[in-house]
Amino acid sequence: MAAQPIPMASTTASEPTVDWDALAARARGVRRTKAVVLYAFLIAVSLPIILPYFWLVTIAFSARTGVAETAVLWRSMAVVVPAVVAFWLTAALAQSRRQLWIGIAAVAAIAAFAFALLVGPDLHVGNFIFLWEPDFASVVRSRIGEVKGAVQFPNVWHAFGNSILIAGAQTAIVVTVASLAAYYLSRFQFPGRSSMLRSLLVLHAFPVLTLIVPMFLMLYWIGLLDTLFGVILVLVAFELPFAIFIMKGFFDAVPWDIEMSALTDGASRRQAFVSVVLPQVRNGILAIAVFTFIRGWEEYIFVFTFLIRNSNWTMSLYMYWVRDDVMGVDYGVVSAVGVFYLVPSLILYMAAQRYLMQMSIGGVKG
């Protein structure tokens, strides 16, 4: 009897079909939804930080005409806030770099046109009168109708120079001394080294304002009260412990083998420190320099206590006295001084931003 052939089952009808185009479209939709949610979160977080600065700039360039001043603020907000939202949505939804740049250019053009149309006619630079008029206090009082006693304001450029001198000298001293001290603590062993490191943290933990009276008396007895040099010494003393502690972390991250190779090749200890070790901790030095300069630039309590004559005023004291109601509180002038006060810090931060973003304690760039 001949064997019967076994029929083969058909498989074509049961094979699942995959719609790859639908899966790709769904993946793109999920990514866009996540991007929109992320940018919405960033906008919600950044607006409370950005808006006060935006208001400051708007008031500084607005005429002090009562209701119109508030109207300028709201019209500016009506232009800038939608522009920021449109910018982030464009960044989230653009499918290529070309679409991104076209979208940003369109948003910028529309925002610029709307800003020039709605806000431009009400902007002026009269609030920055303190930059070219030494006796601007009397001019402002006559403008707002105040007849209170005269205030002898120093030239704003003199206060600006004092602030640059204090912040710059403090930064130079702190960076130099902190680098040398941190290198010594990192590379050399000596009795009491661990105790010294712990004391650096303890010194930084105490509120410095508790020492303001002893510091005032010390500066008085050594003849440095009401001098810029005395303020610089005080600020350096308070800033050094933490700077040394931070810089020691950077020097610890530099392998000893690199320095030893330079010494083996005939370099002296100073040459190895300057040419081999310091470039490895460049980002740490820049970070210490930037933050020290900004802290010196915005210092108020110590300069207010230790500097008496208005010829020694810094920008922080200038800002305080301009906002004093003896001049009738001209918010336009106060905001203009605030904008002028912000410019150096903003320029410094933007110039060092690339290095600050690369800063990482414990990492060594080869």
- Using 50, 70 and 90 to split pLDDT, how confident is the model at 84? confident
How far apart are the C-alpha atoms of 292 and 270, rounded to whole Å? 26
Over the chain, what is the mean pLDDT?
Answer: 80
Amino acid 363: pLDDT: 44
Q: Give per-residue pLDDT as tens, 179-232.
A: 999 998 888 887 878 887 777 777 777 778 888 888 899 999 998 888 999 999
Q: Give this prediction's pTM.
A: 0.76
Which pLDDT score is estimated for 70? 72
Each residue of 8-38: pLDDT tens digit? 555 555 566 777 888 888 887 888 788 778 7
In this predicted structure, what is the pLDDT of residue 235? 92
Handedness of CA 330, 332, 338, 340 (dihedral sign): negative
| Location of structure tokens 């009897």 | 1
In three-state secondary structure terms, 29 is: helix
Q: Of the given ranges (85-89, 293-297, 317-321, 361-365), which has the lowest mean pLDDT?
A: 361-365
Q: What is the mean pLDDT of residues 340-360?
A: 80
Closest of 319, 315, 343 to residue 53, by C-alpha: 343
Q: Count Cβ atoms within 10 A of the Cβ of residue 166 and give its class: 0-12 exposed, 13-18 middle, 19 or more buried.
A: buried
Is 243 within 8 Å of 185 (Cβ atoms)? no
Instruction: Tell me the range of 60-69, 110-119, 293-302 where mean pLDDT is highest.
Output: 293-302
Amino acid at 151: V
* pLDDT surpassing 70 at residue 289: yes
